[in-house]
């Protein structure tokens, strides 16, 4: 691997890192040389990914953290600092959705999506950025979505939350550039993972997505990792405040 993409001697946190896109991201960072902190509610799943990373010869730990509680986030970040010394990379991947028409969305559904996708992402970023400021810099990568740039039917809280992530990425990049902290995002289109495979078995749903995608297929988890490595490494040292869309041409239309 080109040294500018190397993550040797770096520590990375991946929230929602024990399945789906998060697992693929964590493994890609480990393969590039990083030590990993895998965050997810299910500690058994965390440990499965931790073992995969250790099998690659990298150090890793799993943390079960309630990301809805700011105190829990702050304590977790302190624990990571004590265990690893530095936090060089944060990938805010944890996210949820609510599938319902806008006329039927409940306050509970709205709050759940916003609390995880926006509020928790912000306060994870804030806590880690304080550590990064002390150590002279770092990289924060947020996971938005193609539907943060365009609308979609039946997932209005999710589209609103992912649009918020895109603009929050810009604001944090502007504020924290002087501390050597780069803040960027990726915006995948529909990626086939274990989390959505049941939904995508519905031929009508699958065909609708493919019809909107110029490349006429769904994305694969490993196809988002190139952008992650660019943004996490020195190869992307002059990139901040950006969202890289990985969408098979969706937004080119």
Which of 75, 73, 61, 58 shows the shortest CA–CA distance to 17? 61
Q: What tokens were used for 192?
A: 């086939």
- Give the position of tokens 């901040």: 240
How many residues make up the chain in this entry? 253
SS (H, E, C) 31-62: HCCCEEEEECCCHHHHHHHHHHHHHCCCCEEE
Q: Degrees (nearest 5) of the Cα angle 41, 176, 224?
A: 50
Which of 65, 35, 41, 39 shows the shortest CA–CA distance to 53? 35
Active site amino acids: 158
User: Exposure pattern of 55-78 as b/e (b: 16+ CB <10 Å)?
Assistant: eeebebbbbbbebeebebbeebbe
DSSP 251: G
**DSSP states of 183-234 as a string?**
EEEEEE--B--TTTHHHHTSHHHHHHHHHH-TT-S-B-GGGGHHHHHHHHSG
| Residues in CB range of 151: below 8 A, 6 or more apart | 159
* Distances from the Cα of 124 to the Cα of 24, 50, 233, angstroms: 20, 21, 20
């Amino acid at each position: 691997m080109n040294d500018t993409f190397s993550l040797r001697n770096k520590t990375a946190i991946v929230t929602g890192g024990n399945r789906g896109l998060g697992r693929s991201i964590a493994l890609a960072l480990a393969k590039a040389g990083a030590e990993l902190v895998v965050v997810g509610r299910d500690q058994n799943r965390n440990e499965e990914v931790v073992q995969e990373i250790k099998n690659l010869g990298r150090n890793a730990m799993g943390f079960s953290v309630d990301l809805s509680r700011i105190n829990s986030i702050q304590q977790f970040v302190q624990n990571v600092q004590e265990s690893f010394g530095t936090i060089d990379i944060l990938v805010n991947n944890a996210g949820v959705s609510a599938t319902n028409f806008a006329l039927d969305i409940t306050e509970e559904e709205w709050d759940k999506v916003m609390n995880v996708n926006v509020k928790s992402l912000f306060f994870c970023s804030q806590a880690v950025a304080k550590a990064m400021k002390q150590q002279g810099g770092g990289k924060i990568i947020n996971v938005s979505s193609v539907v943060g740039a365009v609308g979609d039917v039946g997932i209005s809280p999710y589209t609103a939350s992912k649009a918020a992530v895109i603009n929050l990425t810009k604001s944090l990049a502007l504020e924290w550039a002087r501390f050597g902290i780069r803040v960027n995002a990726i915006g995948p289109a529909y990626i086939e993972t274990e989390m959505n495979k049941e939904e995508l078995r519905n031929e009508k749903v699958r065909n609708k997505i493919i019809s909107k995608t110029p490349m006429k297929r769904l994305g694969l988890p490993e196809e988002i990792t190139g952008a992650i490595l660019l943004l996490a490494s020195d190869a992307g040292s002059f990139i901040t405040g950006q969202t890289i869309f990985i969408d098979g041409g969706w937004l080119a239309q």
